[in-house]
Amino acid sequence: MIHLTLIIVDFLTGLLVAGAWALASAAGVVAALVGGGAIGWTLLRRWRRKP
């Protein structure tokens, strides 16, 4: 019985860690897209200002 409980707890902990990793990974992708877009927009504006 204790062994089954440990397996269930281990499984739930694994799911929690996988979920946290997926969330952090998605947040990193969104931050990279926003940062890349901001840098691209700034470079485009600077490039268009030059004669």
Torsion of CA 42, 48, 49, 51, to 10 degrees: 150
Six-digit token string for 46: 């600077």
Tens digits of residue pLDDT in 1-12: 678 889 999 999
Torsion of CA 22, 23, 25, 29, to 10 degrees: 130
Listed as own residue / partner, the contacts of 42-51 with beta carbons closer than 8 Å and 24 or more positions apart are none
pLDDT of residue 20 exceeding 90: yes
pLDDT of residue 50 exceeding 80: no
Q: How far apart are CA 48 and CA 8, in angstroms?
A: 60
- What pTM was estimated for this model as a whole? 0.55
